[in-house]
A and B are shown apart, each in its own frame.
Chain A
């Protein structure tokens, strides 16, 4: 029954999306308001329908309806309820449905919230969002149907089909359950309940700015309206994608057992590319809002951000890349590639057409090379260069060398460590300088004056680091740039609050609250800069100063790394309730002769594969990360890999600051909410 309900709702959602697409295109071409209203209603209907469909699949997962082949492939009778929930996005079919559900949620919210204010853009917005949704729903219906079931043919063969084949019957459910696969061990982690939804919320969210941009291009209304309508959506999508990336890093750190959080894997990079483009857009859009400049560039950034989302989806789901993060090889590769190409080419074609008509011309002329506009342009160029370098390393070089030179290559961490650091250094430099430059024009003297306080705060920190023994010039330069960028943000916040304290005699907490509530975008942005600074401190520390050693120890023996000593105490084996065999080592960690922790690194042996779960002693200073990489039959001898990751927790703490800053920046301004309420009341009174 659940399969029928889920499939029916999925079919209806596709029909509604397709109808909304046609009606919206018709409404746009013939200027028919009644068609537009009908398109809107159909588009709004897709969300509750997909919620119904996803709920049916979730119920089937929770209740073990393993006649549905998706349920059979991602759960088994021992799977705990928690992981049955995460199994909704644990494999291709379920995650595609979940993807469509989130996409429809964005469409639902954006159409409802922007309906009155941006009515002129609505035909285009509905057409683009519904075309995207209809495409993904078609993939679910035709190629990766999550409601496909097992059937037993008359001759005893097991068939997989959405509908019951002639002469077939339902198989014995108990026998089916006994052969069920269970969830991929890599996905049995608390982080998996948050990481994929965040990532998908980030990916799907970029459809809204893309839809508004295309609607603006199609309608010819290339005023700042589409920018105003989409900035907050971009910020939201950007925040979710950033959180998804950070949570993915944490998952890799905890589950993949290699002591790091970012391996420059092509699938990780595929998610980073739209985030980089989104970051560039969030900066350059300010120039369009405030100065009416970079209109063509902003249009291209929005297009490339969504194009990168579609390409990343194609790369991850088609089997183009083999990775721990990607889905298995699938038939959806070609349709996804075709959809990505068509959407990108149509968007670029429309942009070129409007550019030739002069509709994307800047409104204002440039005022000076040291103005904030110029620094933002430079910042965007660096983002573009970073995008190119990462895209080239992940997809370009491997494809070109294999197709043209018949020599398959892999570009790994070595490549990214050679190419990306200068670009990241430039980005931090821009992050420090741009807030000090004024719109229009600025002078070196003004910027120098602005830099004085941040520099005075940065220099003693660097001196302290040098005195503490850090003599690597690269590390000092990196910490100098990162800290300077953070200090600029901090000083700007203090400067703004002090102005209020001096002018109005406000207390500091009150001044800070007022400062943030009066200009959320600017000061939220500074908090984001602080978050990025803290992440930068963590990345530099854990990359440049990571220390590692590996040794095989007999019980009672120990190994030493820096001022830490690890002693092997004992070994045990146990069977967990979900069927995995746990091989656990007990080790004592001491620092300078003092015992500080007992850790239990372990190997979880699943039927599919073993997993190495680290024992971690965490502090602000560093993480001591212990892996059990092997052992003798009885556990008399075991091999340990000990890694010290300095400052790694700054990466996660910076993520929290980034989240806080984005929420501040995206939060609706109190005054505008009140104004909107007044407007609505006025409209109702007039009606």
Chain B
């Protein structure tokens, strides 16, 4: 039992020295979620400009200091604004970005749905006799041409 306390103290003292520095892959994982401050629309992990190298070095430093990826991204957003991330982290901007296209797409769906409804009504209004040739018209041009050719051969 005597050796437990000194061993504990020793391990606590040597732990930071033995801890592995963050690997390139860990740095790139965070960098992939940030955007280059110089070349717009280029993820940080794909960019090799001086500014990007500096940012990646900073990510490495923060990971080394024990910061989580989320905390690092939040720190960059706080310092440089929402344009450094691929999708905004701010709830309002995030909702604006992600909900609007679906709302607009539903807006596009509406005329389509109305058109189908109008067609369905027109069909109900039409008499069954009018419908009969429609159903037969399901045969396409090609089939009609094949049949004409077959008739000609006979």
Binding site for B on A (CB under 8 A): 256-259, 263, 265-266, 290, 297, 321-324, 365-369, 373-374, 377-378, 380-381, 384-385, 388-389, 392-393, 396-397, 400-401, 405, 407-415, 418-419, 423, 438-442, 496, 499-500, 503-504, 518-519, 522, 548-552, 610, 612, 629-630, 639, 641
Out of A368, A392, A610, name the residue touching B100 (CB < 8 Å).
A392
Which of these binds chain A: B3-11, B63-71, B131-139?
Answer: B131-139
A381 to B, closest residue via Cβ: B112
**How far apart are the CA atoms of A418 and B119 in the complex, in Å?**
34
> Are B35 and A410 in contact, with the CB atoms below 8 A?
yes
B2 CB-CB contact with A under 8 Å: no
Shortest distance between the CB of A69 and any CB in chain B (Å): 26
> Are A407 and B104 in contact, with the CB atoms below 8 A?
no
Given contacts A412-B86, A415-B97, contact A367 B131 (CB under 8 A): yes
| B interface: dominant SS | helix
**How far apart are the CA atoms of A639 and B25 in the complex, in Å?**
12
Out of B24, B46, B83, B116, name the residue touching A551 (CB < 8 Å).
B24
> Are A366 and B33 in contact, with the CB atoms below 8 A?
no
**How far apart are the CA atoms of A55 and B142 in the complex, in Å?**
47
**How far apart are the CA atoms of A504 and B147 in the complex, in Å?**
12
The 4 closest A-B pairs by CB, nearest first: A366-B119, A412-B86, A438-B138, A385-B105
Please give, as numbers and ranges, the residues of chain B lying within 8 Å of A639 by CB-CB distance: 24
**How far apart are the CA atoms of A381 and B112 in the complex, in Å?**
7
> Are A415 and B41 in contact, with the CB atoms below 8 A?
no
B28 CB-CB contact with A under 8 Å: yes
Out of A257, A323, A368, A548, name the residue touching B41 (CB < 8 Å).
A323
Shortest distance between the CB of B141 and any CB in chain A (Å): 7
Q: Tell me how many residues of B have a C-beta within 8 Å of chain A.
A: 56
A609 to B, closest residue via Cβ: B49
> Are A377 and B112 in contact, with the CB atoms below 8 A?
yes
Jot down 21 A-B pairs with beta carbons below 8 A, ordered by A: A258-B46, A290-B140, A365-B119, A381-B108, A384-B112, A385-B104, A388-B104, A392-B101, A408-B82, A409-B82, A410-B35, A410-B84, A415-B98, A440-B134, A499-B146, A518-B145, A519-B145, A548-B28, A550-B28, A629-B48, A641-B24
**How far apart are the CA atoms of A496 and B100 in the complex, in Å?**
44
Query: For chain B residues 92-140, which have a beta carbon within 8 Å of chain A?
Result: 92-93, 96-98, 100-102, 104-105, 108-109, 112, 115-116, 118-120, 122-123, 126, 131, 134-135, 137-140
> Are A405 and B131 in contact, with the CB atoms below 8 A?
no
Out of A265, A369, A384, name the residue touching B108 (CB < 8 Å).
A384
> Are A378 and B142 in contact, with the CB atoms below 8 A?
no
Hey, what's the 0/1 contact readout for B13-34 against A, CB within 8 Å counting as 1? 0000000000111001000010
Out of A368, A439, A503, name the residue touching B140 (CB < 8 Å).
A439
Given contacts A440-B135, A503-B150, A518-B145, contact A369 B120 (CB under 8 A): yes
**How far apart are the CA atoms of A322 and B140 in the complex, in Å?**
49
**How far apart are the CA atoms of A373 and B92 in the complex, in Å?**
40
B100 to A, closest residue via Cβ: A392
> Are A439 and B93 in contact, with the CB atoms below 8 A?
no
**How far apart are the CA atoms of A316 and B137 in the complex, in Å?**
47
> Are A366 and B108 in contact, with the CB atoms below 8 A?
no
Please give, as numbers and ranges, the residues of chain A lying within 8 Å of B146 by CB-CB distance: 499-500, 503
> Are B87 and A522 in contact, with the CB atoms below 8 A?
no
Out of B40, B100, B135, name the residue touching A321 (CB < 8 Å).
B40
> Are B116 and A369 in contact, with the CB atoms below 8 A?
yes
> Are B46 and A418 in contact, with the CB atoms below 8 A?
no
**How far apart are the CA atoms of A438 and B131 in the complex, in Å?**
15
Shortest distance between the CB of A403 and any CB in chain B (Å): 12
> Are A413 and B86 in contact, with the CB atoms below 8 A?
yes
> Are B86 and A408 in contact, with the CB atoms below 8 A?
no
**How far apart are the CA atoms of A610 and B53 in the complex, in Å?**
14
**How far apart are the CA atoms of A413 and B42 in the complex, in Å?**
10
> Are B119 and A407 in contact, with the CB atoms below 8 A?
no
Please give, as numbers and ranges, the residues of chain A lying within 8 Å of B40 by CB-CB distance: 321-323, 410
**How far apart are the CA atoms of A323 and B118 in the complex, in Å?**
45
> Are B134 and A409 in contact, with the CB atoms below 8 A?
no
**How far apart are the CA atoms of A527 and B104 in the complex, in Å?**
33
> Are A374 and B116 in contact, with the CB atoms below 8 A?
yes
B51 CB-CB contact with A under 8 Å: no
Please give, as numbers and ranges, the residues of chain B lying within 8 Å of A321 by CB-CB distance: 40-41
Given contacts A380-B112, A629-B48, contact A518 B138 (CB under 8 A): no
**How far apart are the CA atoms of A401 and B88 in the complex, in Å?**
11
B46 to A, closest residue via Cβ: A258
> Are A266 and B87 in contact, with the CB atoms below 8 A?
no
Please give, as numbers and ranges, the residues of chain B lying within 8 Å of A266 by CB-CB distance: 41
> Are B123 and A365 in contact, with the CB atoms below 8 A?
yes
Please give, as numbers and ranges, the residues of chain B lying within 8 Å of A297 by CB-CB distance: 115
Please give, as numbers and ranges, the residues of chain B lying within 8 Å of A550 by CB-CB distance: 24-25, 28
Out of A377, A407, A441, name the residue touching B115 (CB < 8 Å).
A377
A398 to B, closest residue via Cβ: B83
Shortest distance between the CB of B101 and any CB in chain A (Å): 4
> Are B93 and A401 in contact, with the CB atoms below 8 A?
yes
B75 CB-CB contact with A under 8 Å: no
**How far apart are the CA atoms of A260 and B39 in the complex, in Å?**
17
**How far apart are the CA atoms of A411 and B99 in the complex, in Å?**
13
**How far apart are the CA atoms of A259 and B28 in the complex, in Å?**
14
- Further 19 A-B residue pairs, CB within 8 A, beyond A265-B41, A415-B87: A256-B46, A258-B46, A366-B118, A377-B115, A385-B101, A392-B100, A409-B88, A409-B97, A410-B85, A412-B87, A418-B98, A423-B105, A441-B134, A499-B146, A503-B146, A548-B25, A549-B24, A550-B28, A552-B24
> Are A419 and B98 in contact, with the CB atoms below 8 A?
yes
**How far apart are the CA atoms of A163 and B119 in the complex, in Å?**
64
Please give, as numbers and ranges, the residues of chain B lying within 8 Å of A365 by CB-CB distance: 119, 122-123, 126
B81 to A, closest residue via Cβ: A408
Given contacts A366-B120, A368-B123, A439-B137, contact A414 B87 (CB under 8 A): yes
Please give, as numbers and ranges, the residues of chain A lying within 8 Å of B92 by CB-CB distance: 405
> Are A400 and B39 in contact, with the CB atoms below 8 A?
no
**How far apart are the CA atoms of A384 and B25 in the complex, in Å?**
38
B133 to A, closest residue via Cβ: A440
Please give, as numbers and ranges, the residues of chain A lying within 8 Å of B141 by CB-CB distance: 290, 519
Shortest distance between the CB of B76 and any CB in chain A (Å): 13
